[in-house]
Amino acid sequence: MGSFIASGVNRGALAMDAGNSSLPGWKMAYIIQWIWPVPLLAAAFFAPESPWWLIRHGKVDEAKRTLTRIASPGYWDTRPMDAYIAVIKHTDDMERAESAKGSFRDMWRGSNLRRTEIEMGVWAMQVWSGTAMTAYAVQFFKSAGMSTDTAFNLNIVITAMNLIGCMIEFVLISKFGRRPLILTGMAILASMLLVIGILGSVTTTNSTLVGTGAACAIINLVYHGTVGPLTYTVAAEVPASRLRARTVAFGRAFYVINYNATSQLTPRMVAPKTNIGGWGWRGKAAFFWLGGNLLATTWAYFRMPETGG
């Protein structure tokens, strides 16, 4: 939703620059983003505490209220809540014995080493899946010869796929496992990157631009229907209970390192050579991301387990 709204704001800012507004459009785009902390802080204030955390701190009654609140109506009518809480307690007791202090050093010991590897891997998959190209779609399309207005309009369509993909994921996750969805999603993303790379290697025409735009839209749709949201699911399910916060934080830091590195590369790849620092790869940049995708997919196939159930 955020990227879709942002693409609309950017398109509106473009129209401001084309008109007689005394406020440059790029300033308006920056100003609007400061509206969001207010509703986000309000939502965070009313968000329930984790039942795992509550039970770990002996607040069983509060945990029951939270479980009832976050479940669908009637969910616990046919399921024993006390049995579920007993499972949480038993799991925590076992993990407490394995990681008594729950330090960062414990993340690299015993079975936690495997958990940490998976945590790092799934976060890295978000970066190396190949969706980085679509984040610079406007610049990419403009460097390929598309008009500015058309490039911004097409970007709105591409980011709309983010929202649609997340809606599809709500249905898919209840019918398929995490691992099949992630592997299938990565395979489809790889095929679309191959298409973009091939189209970027031939003479640019309206047809190649349309085909590239369609492939970018499919990438965003598939990514947000599989790999994107499921990364957060697997990242929360893999760590040991008492190391969850540290492991997720470390995994997210690993993601940021990868993202910062690639965010420096991608703009240079898609920018024309006439720009300062531009490499002029245009659509051929997809071949680079195809290689990253295949490496991440190979790791997932051999090392990422099914965490559902």
Question: Which has the closest alpha carbon to 9: 20, 40, 27?
Answer: 27
Question: Which has the closest alpha carbon to 240: 36, 101, 70?
Answer: 101
Residues 261, 267: Cα–Cα separation, whole Å: 11
Q: Are 116 and 205 in contact (CB under 8 A)?
A: no
Model-level pTM?
Answer: 0.75
How far is C-alpha 47 from the chain's CA centre?
21
Residue with tokens 């085909």: 211
Other Cβ atoms within 10 Å of 36 Cβ, number: 11
Residues 227, 153: Cα–Cα separation, whole Å: 26
Q: Are 177 and 284 in contact (CB under 8 A)?
A: no
Token pair belonging to 65: 């209220």
Where the chain has pLDDT below 70, the residues are 1-2, 4, 8-12, 15-26, 98-102, 144, 309
How far is C-alpha 150 from the chain's CA centre?
26
